Every structure is written in structure tokens, then in C-alpha cells.
Amino acid sequence: MKTIAQQRVIVSLLMVSGIVAWMTLGVAVNGVMAQTTTEAPPATSAPAPGGTPPTAAPAPPAKIDTGDTAWVLTSSALVLAMTAPGLALFYGGMVREKNALGTIMQSFIILCLISVQWVLWGYSLSFGPDVKGIVGSLAWMGLNGVAMDQPNADYAATIPHQAYMIFQAMFAVITVALISGAYAERMKFSSFLVFSLLWATFIYDPLAHWVWGKGGWIGTNGGLGALDFAGGTVVHISSGVSGLACALVLGRRLGYGKEHMAPHNLPMTVLGASLLWFGWFGFNAGSAVAAGALATSAFVVTNTATAAAALAWMVAEWLYRGKPTVLGAASGAVAGLVAITPASGFVGPLSSIIIGAGAGFFCYVAVIVKSRLGYDDSLDAFGVHGIGGTWGALATGLFASKAINSGGADGLFFGNPGQLWLQFIAVLAAWVLAFVGTFVILKIVDWTMGLRVSNDEEQLGLDLSQHEERAYS
């Protein structure tokens, strides 16, 4: 007789296998039915009998710009480097030595897992043909209809559709990886895999469609008009708030609040933060999906806000604790990167200083409050990404200016108070979807296979208990 735990594991594996099988079958069916429909250009009209020309000439085909394409592909590589090695080192250095490899493994495997999910069905659900403003259809499963040699003007008119697709894939990857900072040092590896796949499919993909997809109900591509240039709601609020749900559902680590759980390798963490800063230029400036003035502006404000946030966190910590710390400066820089993300294509340099400084202060306060409230957000995923993303999304409604991006909107301080209300709606929607959806997924995974390692495994460390390896010999 199988134990209840074994039965739950089997049920969970069957569930995930069923999802994968169903999606893969859809890919095959779509491929058979539409082998010759991959975004072909419209056929020219044949002359009428007698040589009479057609009444309307066909529209000229969209032209791919090689400079824009090169920039977006380079940005895709930069965003990939944010996850591995950037986030892997940043998180890996902050955990205890016995969990270093397990933490690095999570970021690396998410890069692998979500890269495949994105090609099979994730991109279609996020950016495919709209279904009632909620999600993309499955028409683009397996990249059916996503051309490598033609643009899709709904998203980027001067680069191949597949270039845009792979750029967005890297956003999906790092978003899922960011959540792991909240449950670090205590989730089973098998449960982590199942949770990550389900979260990407049922939380990230619909939210990306709401904000960025053609016809999504929140964003500027046919929706309410809330601004999110590079992922304040889609990436940071979703990952941070989901991290809070994880911290609450999984509970505290053994010894939390009683044992000293200091980072085991701060140089590794600072190296990771520096790589995140470097890669974030692709994240934000790459979101212009063109090599030009808007990308330049996004690049400048990204760097400026990050520097301001690191300084603000350092000063706040210095005043509160009496000494500035390296970990604080690195965390402040990441907070600034988070906050400027939604605003990076809509604000100028002076506004970016205010946004960055606010992020450094607000996120530092959130980290201090965490210890007093008693929840165990291990590596401050919520304190930095949830709070920083919320501040950045709202600040976009304050400081956005059409003088920076004529395709955007003015914010409150530039004569448009209604934009702040739209930003608030977007923030609230992202919070609700992320928290409630993550809570449900966690409960399903917990019921089917359990979330946490055993007490003995946690004491031993994830490196040995989950992978039978040591980070340092």
C-alpha cells in the first residue's frame, strides 16, 4: 500500500505531466494545421481581366532594422545574465553555507524550465491573440506563427517577432527566480519545480497579457492605459507579493529569530548585485525595442535611480544602525533598479533621482518592519521587489512625462492626475492576482507533495539533503 504522501506525489506528477502533454499535443496539432501560415506577408492582388490594375495596392511589408534587432538580442543576453549568474550569485551569497548550491541551483534551473515553458505555451498565453482582455489564446503554442524573419507590429515593428519573443522570455525567467528569495533554505526541490511551472503558467502569463499583451485590460496596448515600461507590475510586484505569500504559507526557517543567519559570502552577493545592475540596462533600455533616443533615456535614468537608491539606503541604515553596510548598499542598488523599472521609459533624470531615493528609503523601512512583524521573507523578496515595485508603479503616475515618451502619458506632476489612479488600479490588480493565485498554488502543491523539507533535512542543509553536494570542499 502506498502512503498518503506517496499518493500525493503521484497525483502531483500526473497533474504536471498532464499539463505538459496537453500543451505539447496542442503544439503538434497547431503545427500540422498551420504549417504554411507563419506570418506570411499578404499576397498581392492579381490583375483583373483585361489588365486592369487592382483598386488598392497592398501595404508594403514591414522592414526589419538590423540595428534595432542587434540591440534587442544583446538586451536579451543581458537580461539572461541577470538570472544566471547575477541573481544566482546575489541570492547564493546571502544564504548560509549549507544552502549555497541549492539556492544557486534554483535560479539556474528556472532559466532552463521557463525557457522551455515559454516556447511551448508561455509566450502564447502572454502575448498571443487576445481572449477577452484576460489572456492570450493558444494560437502561438510552440511558436506557431511567431516568425523569425518578420516583425509583429503590435509589439515591435522593426525586429523579428522571435527576437521580441526571446527578449520577453528572459523577463519571465527572472520573475519566477526572484520569488525564490522568499522561501530560500526550506522548500523541497521537487515542490519548487512544480510550483515554478504552475506559477509561470497561471500567474505570470496572464498578468503579462493584462499589462503588455495586445488587448490586455490594464495596459496601453488596448487597455485602461496604465504605464509599465519594463515590468514594475508584471515582474516586481508579482514576484514580491508572491514571495510574501510563500513566506507566510511555508512559515519560518528553523531557528529564525533565535539563531544568527548571516550571509555566508558577501563578496559573492555584491558581485551578483553588480551583475544585476549591468544586466538591468538590457532590461530597461532594451524595453524600448529599438536602438534610439528612448533607449538612451531609459539607460540614463536606470543608472541614476540605482545610484540614488544605494545612497539613500546607506544613509538610512547609517542613521538607524550607526554604521553603513556593504549588504545594505547592494540591496539599495537593487531596490533602485526595481523602482525605476516601470518608469524608465517615461521619466527624466531628475525624477529618477527622486524615485531611486524613495526606493532606498521605503525598501529599507520594509526590511526593518519585517523583523518586527515576524514573517520570514528569507532574502527580502517582498521588501525589495514588492515594496519597490509598488512605489515605482505609483511614482510613474506622478512623474511620467510625454516630453520623454510621446507614446506614454503625463503623470500627476505634469498635469494629469488621472494617470495616478490608473497606476493604482494596476498595482491593486497585480497584488490581488499574485497573492491569491500564489496562495492557491502553494496549497495545491502542499496537499499533493508537501512544500517543506523535513526538519532533519533543513538542519543538514539543502545542498546535501536535496543535491548531495557541497559548495565548498
Instruction: Give the residue from 189, 244, 107, 201 showing the smallest Cα distance to 453.
Output: 189
How far is 368 from 144, CA to CA, in rounded Å?
48
Per-residue model confidence (pLDDT) at position 61:
60
Per-residue model confidence (pLDDT) at position 63:
87
Q: Where are the alpha helices (DSSP H) in 325-450?
A: 326-340, 349-373, 381, 387-399, 418-449
Q: DSSP secondary-structure letter at 288?
A: G
Instruction: Give the residue from 439, 434, 442 showing the smallest Cα distance to 239.
Output: 434
Instruction: Give the residue from 280, 415, 302 showing the smallest Cα distance to 359.
Output: 302
Per-residue model confidence (pLDDT) at position 473:
82
Instruction: Give the residue from 347, 433, 331, 437 showing the smallest Cα distance to 394.
Output: 347
The C-alpha cell of 260 is what? 544568527
Phi, psi dihedrals of residue 348, rounded to the nearest 5°: -95, 175
Residue 255, phi-psi category: left (phi > 0), alpha (psi -120 to 50), beta (remainder) = left
Kind and range of the H or E element at 4? helix 4-33
Domain segments of the chain: what residues? 66-465
Per-residue model confidence (pLDDT) at position 45:
35
pTM for this prediction? 0.89
The C-alpha cell of 160 is what? 523579428
Per-residue model confidence (pLDDT) at position 232:
97
Inter-residue contact 130 to 137 (CB < 8 Å): yes
The C-alpha cell of 307 is what? 545610484
How far is 96 from 472, CA to CA, in rounded Å?
12
How far is 259 from 257, CA to CA, in rounded Å?
6
| Mean pLDDT, each 10-residue run in order, the chain (473 residues) | 45 45 39 35 36 47 90 98 98 98 98 98 98 98 97 97 98 98 98 98 98 98 97 98 98 94 97 98 98 98 98 98 98 98 98 98 96 93 98 98 97 98 98 98 98 98 97 90
Count the Cβ atoms, other than its own, within 10 Å of residue 229: 25
β-bridge mates for residue 156, sequence order: 152
The C-alpha cell of 84 is what? 544566471
How far is 302 from 346, CA to CA, in rounded Å?
11
Query: In the chain, how many H helices and how many E strands?
Result: 18, 2
CA 194 to chain centre: 18
CA distances from 77 to 70, 171, 179, 274, 448 (A): 11, 11, 21, 16, 37
Name the class of domain 66-465.
mainly alpha
Q: In 343-365, which positions are buried (b, 16+ CB within 10 angstroms) versus exposed (e)?
A: bbbbbbeebbbbbbbbbbbbbbe
Inter-residue contact 99 to 285 (CB < 8 Å): no
Per-residue model confidence (pLDDT) at position 81:
98
The set of long-range contacts for 103-110, using a CB threshold of 8 Å and a minimum separation of 24, is: 103/180, 103/184, 103/185, 103/462, 105/189, 105/467, 106/177, 106/180, 106/192, 107/83, 107/177, 107/180, 108/84, 109/193, 110/83, 110/173, 110/176, 110/177, 110/180, 110/196
The C-alpha cell of 290 is what? 529599438
- SS3 of 99-136: HHHHHHHHHHHHHHHHHHHHHHHHHHHHHCCEECCCEE
Instruction: Give the residue from 232, 95, 177, 183 showing the smallest Cα distance to 442.
Output: 183
How buried is 306 (Cβ within 10 angstroms: 0-12 exposed, 13-18 middle, 19+ buried)? buried
- 316 contacts: CB under 8 Å, gap ≥ 6: 360, 361, 364, 365
Inter-residue contact 121 to 143 (CB < 8 Å): no
Residue 361, phi-psi category: left (phi > 0), alpha (psi -120 to 50), beta (remainder) = alpha
